[in-house]
Structure 1
């Protein structure tokens, strides 16, 4: 019996962790979320960004995190298979973290990560037209040098506003993040200074809705949307988000009626999360009566509390998972220490 006692904290922590994970299934099912596809390409092991194609229906663009080459992958959402790998000519990718499509039809790739947490004085954005044909190919890119007005930052989210074409970056810092706005037009010959315009949470990715009226930002266990007004974000509230292995990416579906959430890892899942009520972009929002617009109990608003409740439970679930992992780590560490003490005592 004595030999089993040191393992009890580990068992309890693991049980709590398993219970927290088991609770994820009903939360996801209640919200109408579902797995849209798996990224089956063995070369895609750290999918860190996601963008819905403008030119090719059903295609999503992605890329790996640091450690891969200058590659962007086109993945067919019907099969999960890669239908094209695009190589950016002359680029030595350092820490690619995000991808977005602009109103000009160009793909913007953000080499904006900083694993040293703000030690690199400059980062880069690469731009090239979305290919007309889906096949393996090498393309020429325009490279933009980026600096921040308050010094180096670690960042994982890059978003191109679909109406103005302006580029935004959300930073990822220990004490919270910030939203930075790029120049009205990026300059390939000079330094593009991005200026802080708003405080936002710690994020791993973000995306504008196709009509430009919403901005969604996500972390590992949460997601928030904003109404985009006069080139500034106004927070609406929490969004439902699936529990994933390492939630790294988000993008809107082409019709704006759902969000697609991606994760790192081999054969990673991409989840489709439907939107409703105030979370829908303006072009997709249901018609509302004057009473509803004035705060009455209309159908458009009736979905919001449920969505916020689901999102709140998921945030709590995320915290429970992290606590469970921490408790398991503490239990394992204590168990190892006791084993070493017993060996020293000759037990």
Structure 2
């Protein structure tokens, strides 16, 4: 029989739980004005582990997503106006997906799906990328996808971020490691007749997802508690700035809106929320850089935190703000759990 806190202790626990849910993004909702590309909640009960997001190029306001491991060869089109799934795509011609972690759309309009996760950090000698044209009509369909075998030049590793450059069509993968990861560049053109070797070209922090800006001049990489936008030129990372990413329960995805005006941050979980954070061009006019709407007084040596949005964390000028918030929430959860344990004892 379960035991619940009652009286003053129960009141305090309920208040703490409510506050934690608010901090953890417990209140995502569809925008009141009904416009596309605003905060929304994924309503489909089948989507419980949304691990990647990609803004449709053909259908304004539509976002492609997929579940994590062991869900099958499915990709979902979700309407940001309502949060409802408007098309389910079943991929055929591919093997059984193992751990699908990323999704991106290339300059040719093809959707790339990254079966690149490896939670045992190197147990699989190769991973896969699936590719198919973005459907012209939004309806349930089965499509024939191309499957590419992928390996890394420096050995197997875990990864969750797949990014296709919107101008060159080159595919990049960011690996995930407790000590940081690497940015890997694929061959100029993926082929089906041989293994496609990805080579490490730069170092990156812990990454759960990433996306290029529509003009290809910026690359955003996110983790559980933070995000950074990098200049990207000639296939290499340049200067970076912190973004005021929202704190979410399991921060697994990010993409730019199709027009590059905002970043959309997603999370795993049933009825998970997608949060919009505004971005704007840097001085000099490049799209896709963090918004300059933050507090200039908080700038520290060029490592500035930018971005604003209804669901974003407070842009307090410190790149560590989201980490501190996340730590505070985790401590609060631990206190609540211990209180419940004592009561049940």
The bucket for the TM-score relative to the shorter chain is 0.7 to 0.9
1:84 maps to 2:91: no
Aligned to 1:171: 175
1:309 maps to 2:312: no
Q: Which has the higher contact order (CA 8 A, sep 6+)?
A: 1
Matches within 5 A, 1:4-83: 36-83=39-86
1:322 maps to 2:325: no
State the secondary structure of the residue aligned to 1:282: coil
Normalization by structure 2: what TM-score? 0.80
Q: How far did 1:245 drift?
A: 1.7
Instruction: Say what the alpha-carbon RMSD is for the aligned residues.
Output: 3.3
Segments of structure 2 that go 5 or more residues without pairing to the other structure are: 1-10, 29-36, 308-314
CA distance in 1, matches of 2:177, 2:61: 34
Aligned to 1:197: 201
Question: What's the CA shift string for 1:218-242, capped at 9, x where partnerless?
Answer: 1111111100022101132110111
Aligned to 2:164: 160
CA distance in 2, matches of 1:150, 1:63: 28
1:235 maps to 2:239: yes
- The question of whether the paired residues in 2 share the 8 Å contact of 1:213 and 1:281 is answered with no
Q: How far did 1:69 drift?
A: 1.1
CA distance in 1, matches of 2:58, 2:241: 31
Normalization by structure 1: what TM-score? 0.79
- The question of whether the paired residues in 2 share the 8 Å contact of 1:236 and 1:279 is answered with no
Q: How far did 1:278 drift?
A: 3.3
Question: What's the CA shift string for 1:71-126, capped at 9, x where partnerless?
Answer: 00111111111111111003311111110000011000000011222211100000
CA distance in 2, matches of 1:73, 1:84: 6
Decide which structure has greater helix share: 1
- The question of whether the paired residues in 2 share the 8 Å contact of 1:13 and 1:324 is answered with no
State the secondary structure of the residue aligned to 1:194: strand
CA distance in 2, matches of 1:96, 1:281: 35
> What is the count of residue pairs matched by the alignment?
310
Q: How far did 1:168 drift?
A: 0.3
- Change in CA separation of 1:70 and 1:325 when aligned onto 2, cut-off 3 Å: same
Aligned to 1:249: 253
Q: How far did 1:173 drift?
A: 1.2
Q: How far did 1:315 drift?
A: 2.5
Segments of structure 1 that go 5 or more residues without pairing to the other structure are: 1-10, 29-33, 289-295, 340-347
- The question of whether the paired residues in 2 share the 8 Å contact of 1:225 and 1:279 is answered with no
